Structure 1
Amino acid sequence: MYQSKSTQADAMVAQPPRQALIYCRVSSRAQEADGNGLQSQETRCREFATANGHEVMAVFPDTITGGGDFMKRPGMVALLSFLDAQPDTDFVVIFDDLKRFARDTRFHLDLREAFRARGATIECLNFKFDETPEGEFIETIMAAQGALERKQNGRQVAQKMKARMQSGYWVHNAPVGYRYKTVKGHGKLLMIDEPHASIVREALEGYAMGRFQTQSEVNRFLETRPEFPYNKDGKVRPKRVVDMLIQPLYAGYICSEVYGLKWLKGQHAPIISMETYEKIQTRRLGSAYAPARADIGEDFALRGFATCGDCSAPLRSSWSKGKYKSYPYYACHTKSCDSYGKSIPRDRLESAFDEVVKTLKPSPKLFALAKLMIKDAWAARLGQAKDMTLSVKRQITDVEKQIETLLGRIMNATNDGVVSAYEEKIGTLEKTKARLSENLVNQVPPAGRFEEIIELSLKFLSNPWKLWESEDVILRRTLLRLAFTEGFAYHRIEGHRTPQISLPFKVLGMFSGGEKTNGAVGED
């Protein structure tokens, strides 16, 4: 039966609006603020819904790439869960663009089936879904095209990133101690970020030189620096320490297993030297040390260093509870020892050690003589620098020839195992070349370097008691390692044994007329 136009319009008005859900997605959080961000997508989808008589019930955003499984997108999971919670409602799901749906052919088809199973209709601003065989064919072609574009874009990005890294520029997240800054002629360049860089330098050099015996000590050092970025619980994760210790960026070089790049000189300034980096790797792969206790030095300054005068085993320390208060003691726990279980008051033992440290102070005259001797040695070292420079240049040339030879062999090799062996050898040679190049730069020290080094060294040698008196745990442990070759042996009745002084203090003691029997340094 024929109906007038007014009758048709009345019927359309009487029909209730259909409930709609909007899904928006960008590939990263950085895209949220640009012109094609989540807000602009939502606006276009709302306009589309209004024009088609839909009532928007909810919006589900995602900030994740479209190449992966849609069930790994929080927004999509929430949307599907919303549909599952209201199975009797006929929803329409609106997308801004077909590429927001899925940029992988298999996941596209799976997601279509997921909506179909939930009775939801899909509408897109730039594509009309058609359930006919021809429509499904075209849709599949469009989905495959989106997948192709995604993979091509990924390949192009990877090629650009590799090319930039080959030019000496890091392209990933800046490690702690660096920050990115846009520099004319360079683009985004890693720059030293203070005070983080100084903290990282102190931690890495401290581990390389033995100031921190274990990675746990490095961890605790970083946690004592409030400027260092740590987790919400105030802790620094052990993995972060490991990442710092093995990061070539800190030595000024770029390595990437993903792109097959090894020991390329970076455009950024290094925080540590290549020599320091290699010392760190040697220590990491060398003999393991027992982890130091976190509370060392807080109550017992010589915990782990004081030994039993009878059996030479390390003394244990503890607090003994008395009637009114607790008392600190050292004690030997070796059952076969005559001093087993016999307590030594902490103050008595540590006071004896204090007296030994106070003797480690040579005379001013000796220091003047020592400085002159060191200056003579420094002058001789500068005289050798020219010959050393020529020698290092020859070594670099030899390494470059070896690398060139191996590259030629790789071009002719057909066995994957042989190629891998050549590539590994080239990586080793590149590292050797990097070390030699740095040695070449450092052959002749800059002006003023001598005064800087010698003054710091003599400051420590002049009066170790100042370090010990500071009660700083790290400085005290440094003193124990540098001034003594063995632990501090103490007998509960006879007192301390002759301490084993390290060579520098022993020599200074002999020059200044100190007692040669115990290695302590006397005063004039």
Structure 2
Amino acid sequence: YCRVSSKSQELEGHGLESQETRCREYARAKGYFVEATFPDTITGGGDFMKRPGMVALLSFLDAQPDDQFVVVFDDLKRFARDTRFHFDLRDAFRRRKASIECLNFKFDDTPEGEFIETIMAAQGALERKQNGRQVAQKMKARMQNGYWIHDAPVGYRYQTVSGRGKLLVYNEPFASIVKEGIEGYASGRFQSQVEVKRFFESFPDFPRNKHGEIKQQRVTDILNQPIYTGHICSKTYGIDWLKGHHEPLISLATFDKVQERKAGNAKLPMRKDIGSDFALRGFICCSACDAPLRSS
């Protein structure tokens, strides 16, 4: 069984490959025949039944209840980094009559061995929680320095800049599309958020969900997102309207106008028969009778 905590470790660090190599060398030295390898790319904390590779391993053992297997781990931290689930997993293997062996730790069912194992499991859990705390602190500090750290919003992408790390930059043509959509709503060109959605949908390559749709919530999120003004806000980290290092798509005045329009009375959706040829339909009246001018 091999496990790394993140996709980047899998792709960049060759962690799974090196773990498997060491485990295979260990098995060969012990005279074991390797039946299968079960890799995982997931954190070691939490329920082990949420790890696809571990579930596959346990299912493999369940399918062959009369055979006795040895499960080999590269490191005790690959087993579990949560004290409770460490011993739950130990019990799961014990019920299946499977032995477990680790390259850098000897499992011992004596009272002394269980005590040492408990300390080692608790140490792994402590390190995981400390690492999580450090990551959260670093993320907050970077946000406080004016850098966005979450997924890039529509219209932006991340670009690595020397001395500054990953920085949000325009992602064309989507940046221009988002800008036109927001400014169009602010100016009244689009009378409702539905019309903004229809505008976005007119571009086949505009980002959609896995079903190929642009949900109305996506439009609302775009209209409510301060990051397009060049500022950063985060309830998680207690950051409110901090000037960011990225270039804005819209002005603060445009953003404020959008919020004013959203808070005002709802408008009827634009008629479908209003196009670029008759853009002023309904806005101009006859000077003699006050009737709205028609296309004819």
Give the TM-score, by structure 2 length.
0.91
SS at match of 2:33: strand
Q: Which has the higher contact order (CA 8 A, sep 6+)?
A: 2
Q: In the alignment, which of 75, 87, 102 is matched to residue 124 of structure 1?
A: 102
For residues 200 and 68 of structure 2, the distance between their equivalents in structure 1, rounded to whole angstroms, comes to 57
What's the CA shift for 1:58? 1.3
For residues 180 and 117 of structure 1, the distance between their equivalents in structure 2, rounded to whole angstroms, comes to 48
Report whether the alignment pairs 1:67 with 2:45: yes
Q: RMSD in angstroms over aligned alpha carbons?
A: 2.2
What's the CA shift for 1:232? 4.8
For residues 191 and 79 of structure 1, the distance between their equivalents in structure 2, rounded to whole angstroms, comes to 44
Q: In the alignment, which of 213, 225, 228 is matched to residue 191 of structure 2?
A: 213
Code of the residue aligned with 2:182 in structure 1: it is: L
For residues 196 and 81 of structure 1, the distance between their equivalents in structure 2, rounded to whole angstroms, comes to 46
What's the CA shift for 1:36? 4.7
Report whether the alignment pairs 1:248 with 2:248: no
For residues 64 and 232 of structure 2, the distance between their equivalents in structure 1, rounded to whole angstroms, comes to 54
What residue is the counterpart of 1:11 in the other structure?
Answer: none
Code of the residue aligned with 1:212 in structure 2: it is: F
Report whether the alignment pairs 1:93 with 2:82: no
For residues 95 and 265 of structure 2, the distance between their equivalents in structure 1, rounded to whole angstroms, comes to 61
Code of the residue aligned with 1:37 in structure 2: it is: G
Alpha carbons of structure 1 residues 46 and 286: separation in structure 2 relative to 1, 3 Å: farther
For residues 2 and 129 of structure 2, the distance between their equivalents in structure 1, rounded to whole angstroms, comes to 21
SS at match of 2:281: helix
Q: What are the equivalent positions in structure 2 for 1:485-524 lying under 5 Å apart?
A: 500=285, 515-518=287-290
Partners of 1:223 and 1:234 within 8 A in 2: no
Code of the residue aligned with 2:73 in structure 1: it is: F
Report whether the alignment pairs 1:468 with 2:273: no
What residue is the counterpart of 2:30 in the other structure?
Answer: 52
Code of the residue aligned with 1:73 in structure 2: it is: R
Code of the residue aligned with 1:480 in structure 2: it is: R
Alpha carbons of structure 1 residues 289 and 51: separation in structure 2 relative to 1, 3 Å: farther
For residues 141 and 164 of structure 1, the distance between their equivalents in structure 2, rounded to whole angstroms, comes to 34
Write out per-residue CA displacement over residues 343-363 of structure 1, whole angstroms, 9 at most, x where no aligned residue. xxxxxxxxxxxxxxxxxxxxx
Unaligned runs of 5+ in 1: 1-22, 303-465, 470-475, 485-499, 502-514
For residues 195 and 129 of structure 1, the distance between their equivalents in structure 2, rounded to whole angstroms, comes to 58
What residue is the counterpart of 1:458 in the other structure?
Answer: none
SS at match of 2:158: strand
What residue is the counterpart of 1:166 in the other structure?
Answer: 144
What residue is the counterpart of 1:115 in the other structure?
Answer: 93
Partners of 2:70 and 2:100 within 8 A in 1: yes
For residues 264 and 242 of structure 2, the distance between their equivalents in structure 1, rounded to whole angstroms, comes to 26
What's the CA shift for 1:66? 1.2
Q: What are the equivalent positions in structure 2 for 1:141-156 lying under 5 Å apart?
A: 141-156=119-134
Write out per-residue CA displacement over residues 448-504 of structure 1, whole angstroms, 9 at most, x where no aligned residue. xxxxxxxxxxxxxxxxxx9426xxxxxx3xx336x24xxxxxxxxxxxxxxx46xxx
Q: What are the equivalent positions in structure 2 for 1:18-417 lying under 5 Å apart?
A: 23-290=1-268, 297=272, 301=273
For residues 165 and 172 of structure 2, the distance between their equivalents in structure 1, rounded to whole angstroms, comes to 21
What's the CA shift for 1:31? 0.9
What's the CA shift for 1:520? 8.4
For residues 132 and 84 of structure 2, the distance between their equivalents in structure 1, rounded to whole angstroms, comes to 18
Unaligned runs of 5+ in 2: none
SS at match of 1:59: coil
What residue is the counterpart of 2:281 in the other structure?
Answer: 480
For residues 81 and 187 of structure 1, the distance between their equivalents in structure 2, rounded to whole angstroms, comes to 43
Partners of 1:28 and 1:64 within 8 A in 2: yes
Bigger proportion of residues as helix? 1
Tell which deviates more after alignment, 36-45 or 164-173.
Answer: 36-45
Alpha carbons of structure 1 residues 193 and 119: separation in structure 2 relative to 1, 3 Å: same
Write out per-residue CA displacement over residues 206-229 of structure 1, whole angstroms, 9 at most, x where no aligned residue. 222222233222222212112312
For residues 178 and 49 of structure 1, the distance between their equivalents in structure 2, rounded to whole angstroms, comes to 49
What's the CA shift for 1:519? 7.7
How many residues are treated as equivalent by the alignment? 293
For residues 111 and 281 of structure 2, the distance between their equivalents in structure 1, rounded to whole angstroms, comes to 82
For residues 108 and 232 of structure 1, the distance between their equivalents in structure 2, rounded to whole angstroms, comes to 36
Partners of 2:281 and 2:292 within 8 A in 1: no
